[in-house]
């Protein structure tokens, strides 16, 4: 049986991003059930309606990756209690032209990870607000606000050092695979 294709959108452009590492940990856990790949957003020119009619190739590439996916996993840091600008730009890029959004009806989950204690809660819910308008069914539980995540949270092989965090990430990955199958 073919596995559902999952586009993972990582909200951080940082080379050593802990969110990218969380995304890779989810891929490793859910890999038997889901065909995961990271849809890169770092090269996307800023969205501008003036160039919608002749979109840059990077926009077309990203939008095609989202359109081809059976589900979307957002893994992102919180910036100033909301989502990073690069992530919002990517969302806008694949949502246009009006009426031709690539996000529509794609089952999704949102993981936010931060060294801070509240695990990107503000970003998680700001992103949910956009997903409502984009008509994306977003997994509700388990909630995935991962706090106190730092470089030290990962072993050299990418697995998580803290057993509690490892268990939570495993539960999220399993629930997301179930969610994609349900919708
Ligand atoms: C942050 N950071 C941050 N953290 C948080 O928990 N809440 C916040 O509102 C913010 N705001 C914020 C703004 C900006 C511009 C930056 C650069 C950083 C800290 C952030 O969580 C930390 O840098 C993470 O390590 C970023 O995740 P990655 O890049 O490691 O995935």
pLDDT tens-digit profile of 60-73? 999 999 999 999 99
pLDDT on residue 65: 98
What pTM, to 2 d.p., does this model score?
Answer: 0.98
Indicate if the pLDDT at residue 1 is higher than 80: no
pLDDT on residue 69: 98
Q: What percent of the chain has pLDDT over 90?
A: 97
- At residue 97, φ and ψ (nearest 5 deg) are -65, 160
pLDDT on residue 183: 74
Give 117 Cα–ligand 1 centroid separation in angstroms.
Answer: 12
Give 78 Cα–ligand 1 centroid separation in angstroms.
Answer: 5
Average pLDDT, the chain: 97
Ligand 1, CB within 6 Å, residue ranges? 12, 14, 17-19, 77-81, 114-116, 120
Q: Are strands 71-76 and 35-38 parallel, antiparallel or unpaired?
A: unpaired
Q: From CA 170, how far away is CA 159, in angstroms rounded?
A: 11
pLDDT tens-digit profile of 103-159? 999 999 999 999 999 999 999 999 999 999 999 999 999 999 999 999 999 999 999
């Amino acid at each position: 049986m073919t596995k559902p294709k999952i586009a993972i959108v990582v909200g951080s452009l940082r080379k050593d991003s802990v969110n990218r590492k969380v995304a890779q940990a989810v891929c490793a856990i859910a890999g038997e059930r889901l065909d995961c790949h990271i849809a890169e957003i770092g090269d996307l020119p800023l969205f501008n309606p003036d160039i919608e009619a002749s979109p840059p190739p990077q926009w077309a590439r990203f939008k095609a990756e989202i359109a081809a996916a059976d589900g979307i996993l957002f893994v992102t840091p919180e910036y100033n209690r909301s989502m990073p600008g690069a992530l919002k730009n990517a969302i806008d890029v694949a949502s246009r032209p009006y009426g031709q959004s690539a996000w529509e009806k794609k089952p999704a989950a949102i993981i936010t990870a931060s060294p801070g204690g509240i695990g990107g809660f503000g970003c998680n819910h700001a992103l949910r607000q956009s997903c409502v308008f984009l008509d994306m069914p977003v997994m509700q539980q388990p909630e995935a606000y991962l706090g106190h995540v730092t470089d030290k949270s990962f072993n050299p092989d990418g697995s998580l050092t803290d057993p509690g965090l490892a268990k939570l990430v495993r539960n999220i990955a399993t629930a997301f695979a179930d969610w994609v199958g349900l919708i």
